[in-house]
Amino acid sequence: MPADSPLAGLRVLEFGQIAAGPFAGSLLADLGADVVKVERSPAGDGMRQWPPLIDAPTSDGGRFSGNFASVNKGKRSIAVDLKDETDRREVLDLVGSADVLLENFRPGVMDRLGFGYDELSQLNPGLVYCSISGYGQAGPQARDGAFDVTVQAVSGLMSVTGEPGGEPVKCGVPVGDFTAGLYAAVTILAVLERRRRTGVGGRIDCSMLGTLLGISALQTSEYFGTGVDPRRLGSAHPRNAPYKAFRGADRSFVVAAGNDDLWRRFCGVVDAQALVGDARFLTQELRARHQDELEDLLVPILASRPAGAWLRALTDAGVPCAPINTFSEALASDQVVSMGLVRPLVLPNGAETSTVVFPVSISGHSPEATTPPLLGEHNDEVRKEWVDGIRH
């Protein structure tokens, strides 16, 4: 990364596996941090075996996981056995010069290995030590196994996901893992800022359960305010209508007439001006309360024309709307292309694929699609730079 990247010079040791920890580390790497991934020898991060496994252009180049690459771009890898005393001492040497340690083992594992916060903070008082777990470091469920779907379930998120009257479903994107990663990265930067002022690092306990409740602010506040559990609404909104997916003559699309002005414009487009004066639909609150009745009136109207025709007419009228894209359609869309979010990525085996780069634009910083590491590729290099370089 260029020396003027936002996090240039920041050293991060990532004891991450699968998704939450590696995603947090990838965000820091995207912003210029030197993220060294500490992997178990000889297997490495289990995500290295996840498909799609992309073949090298030559027969002897092997295969490399596209899933692994997506959350490990721009990192370096060392392969160690933390139960081996020599390897353990070498990693402790790296801890001494690290700014951040990021891990997502079950609570207690790092302590048993001799890499818990209490021990490492004695070695490096400025260390920012971030633990990501399913349920946090303490409490009756702390040591329970956690995967994205189990935490989506226990957090309440699945209870509001799915069609009314249907079974709960998980979100199609692993929001438990990736939300925890986002919160972890933000909190790491906050504690680093505090360290800048005080010289002292700190411990971060980032749970998937807590962070999913954090992003459920509208649902939890609804419960606190009414005493009633929010319910599944499919693509609809509890406080707005029409604000959901409708079926055109050929495919579904989304409309979000999210205020009174947009409601009037919407009615003009669909030639239903009489609904503007209907007592059931006079305000946003009333439209949300009577949205089942409103849907019954709108469904046959919107089914009369293809989705594309409605999308053009609604867009011309200034009403927010959108096609329901597949990922192939989204990635190839004019807007995504104009934002430069998709870049070529060369894998360590020489295969070429594509990736989505850091999606937030920062003046003076250009996001890169940097090759992910082979397992243990940087053992010697990292020690030379992080440890031997300090001693000279």
pTM value is 0.92
185-229 per-position pLDDT tens digit: 999 999 999 999 999 999 999 999 999 999 999 999 999 999 999
Nearest to 14 by CA among 112, 115, 87: 115
Nearest to 305 by CA among 377, 359, 355, 250: 250
> What confidence score (pLDDT) does residue 389 get?
76
Q: Which residues pair with 38 in a beta bridge?
A: 78
370-388 per-position pLDDT tens digit: 999 999 999 999 999 998 8
Whether 34 is catalytic is no
DSSP state of 49: G
Q: How far is it, in rounded angstroms, from Cα 280 to Cα 287?
A: 7
Burial class of residue 392 in the structure, from the number of CB atoms within 10 Å of its CB (0-12 exposed, 13-18 middle, 19+ buried) = exposed
The fraction of the chain above a pLDDT of 90, given in percent, is: 88
Mean pLDDT of the chain: 94
Q: How far is it, in rounded angstroms, from Cα 258 to Cα 374?
A: 48
Both tokens assigned to 124: 């490096």
Both tokens assigned to 191: 């504690």
Burial class of residue 175 in the structure, from the number of CB atoms within 10 Å of its CB (0-12 exposed, 13-18 middle, 19+ buried) = buried
State the alpha helices, DSSP H only, in the chain.
20-30, 66-70, 85-96, 109-112, 117-123, 148-154, 175-198, 208-215, 217-226, 260-269, 284-289, 291-302, 307-316, 327-331, 334-339, 379-382, 389-391
312-328 per-position pLDDT tens digit: 999 999 999 999 999 99
Burial class of residue 298 in the structure, from the number of CB atoms within 10 Å of its CB (0-12 exposed, 13-18 middle, 19+ buried) = buried
> What confidence score (pLDDT) does residue 108 get?
92
84 Cβ contact list (under 8 Å, min separation 6): none
Q: Which of 111, 144, 177, 250 is catalytic?
A: 177
Q: How far is it, in rounded angstroms, from Cα 234 to Cα 296?
A: 15
> What confidence score (pLDDT) does residue 284 get?
93
Angle between helices 175-198 and 20-30 (to 10 degrees): 50
227-278 per-position pLDDT tens digit: 999 999 999 999 899 999 999 999 999 999 989 999 999 999 999 999 999 9
70-113 per-position pLDDT tens digit: 999 999 999 999 989 999 999 999 999 999 999 999 999 999 99
Evaluate if residue 390 carries a pLDDT over 80: no
Evaluate if residue 345 carries a pLDDT over 90: yes
> What confidence score (pLDDT) does residue 325 get?
96
Distances (CA, A) of 251 to 211, 315, 324: 35, 17, 9
Evaluate if residue 366 carries a pLDDT over 90: no
3-31 per-position pLDDT tens digit: 779 999 999 999 989 999 999 999 999 99
